[in-house]
Amino acid sequence: MPDLIPVNIRWLDDEIGSAFESFVLHSIDKQVQSSSPSNLNFGTNGACTGGPGSGGGPVPTALLLGQCTNGQVVHSMGWANLAALHLNLPKTPGNAPFARDYILTEFTYGVGAMNEGGWQTSSHVVGGSPPFTEGGLLTDHHDAIAVALPGGLYLEKEKYALWSWDYRHYLTSCTDPDWCWNMHLSGQLGWVRPGVIARNTDWTKGGVGNANVQYYEFGLHYGVAELNMEVELDVAWQQHQQDLAHDPGVGPTPLPAGISPNGGTWEFHLTIARNFGGALGKNLAGF
């Protein structure tokens, strides 16, 4: 089932800025994979067909567990909300029309909708695209976690929140496109909150604890690609803090020596863009 967007509202003013509000319904579909010991109640008895090397018959016992996927499919619905505000700051006399400082802030919150909540579309958070790791324990967050309970499977949804902001300031008037400089400061703060069952199951048994992330970036930008070329240098620092899930009343199973649940990293990016005959308009249009 595709995502449904029953609410999508945008307000735009060339002088003041813009605002955006969106609400999304997201379909969650999970299929249980075979495991050991076999569990006939959920269709994961290990005797499904079509596995690699199975020849159309039962999956060989020598095959790694979890590769047989003829199990029960469970459905649920998640949702996410996004609100964004872009404000133009007062014009600097003598600047080019597009060379105007602005502030952009965005907040997303989701329940069972990781991608729609901004967690998989951004490279600045755990599970981003492209995926990355900053060291420490690798986490495994999803829309929901399938939990086996008496009578069937239960999808325990994870909650997500992400706050992003960006401030852009023009250092020159940019009336001369060969001497146009601007800088930006941006950041993100976010958290993931799995359900009660996931948090109260030791991480070695598939439990998942709370996670917090932060990202800060400074960038220096030269040029307008539509008129000549662009060069941008970005410096960023990001960190994630991951709680270890554990059984009630006891501490979490210790991590192997030398591995931390948390991680952080510095990043440096240099981007060069050159226009060869393209039309004007992209950067000159502003937000």
Model pTM?
A: 0.74
What's the distance, Cα to Cα, between the start and end of the chain in Å?
Answer: 32
Cα separation, 249 vs 99, in Å, equals 58
- 70 half-sphere exposure, CB direction, 13 A CA radius: 14
83, 92, 72, 211: which is closest to 142 by C-alpha? 211
How high is the pLDDT of residue 31? 61
Note down pLDDT in tens along the chain; length 287 residues: 566 777 788 888 888 889 988 888 888 776 655 444 444 444 444 444 433 433 344 434 433 333 444 556 777 788 888 899 999 999 888 888 888 999 999 998 989 887 776 665 455 555 444 445 555 566 667 788 877 776 667 788 889 898 999 999 999 998 876 688 999 999 989 888 998 988 998 988 888 899 888 889 999 998 875 566 788 999 999 888 889 999 999 999 998 888 888 888 888 989 888 776 654 444 443 33
For residue 20, count CB atoms less than 10 angstroms from its CB and return exposed for 0-12, middle for 13-18, buried for 19 or more: middle
SS3 category, 179 = helix
- Residue 129 backbone dihedrals phi, psi, to 5 degrees: -130, 110
How high is the pLDDT of residue 27? 81
Strand order in the sheet with 73-88: 4-13, 17-31, 73-88, 102-111, 159-170, 181-193, 211-222, 229-242, 263-274
Cα separation, 167 vs 181, in Å, equals 14
199's enclosing H/E stretch is helix 196-199
Alpha helices in the chain (DSSP H): 196-199
Cα separation, 272 vs 172, in Å, equals 20
- Alpha-carbon torsion angle 40, 45, 50, 53, nearest 10: 180
In 89-180 the beta strands, taken as DSSP E runs, fall at 102-111, 144-149, 152-157, 159-170
Cα separation, 218 vs 212, in Å, equals 21
Cβ(284)–Cβ(224) below 8 Å: yes
Q: Which two tokens stand for residue 113?
A: 């909708």
How high is the pLDDT of residue 210? 92
Domain ranges (residues) in the chain: 4-31+69-285
Q: How many other CB atoms are found less than 10 A from the CB of residue 212?
A: 16
The residue to which tokens 């003598």 are assigned: 94
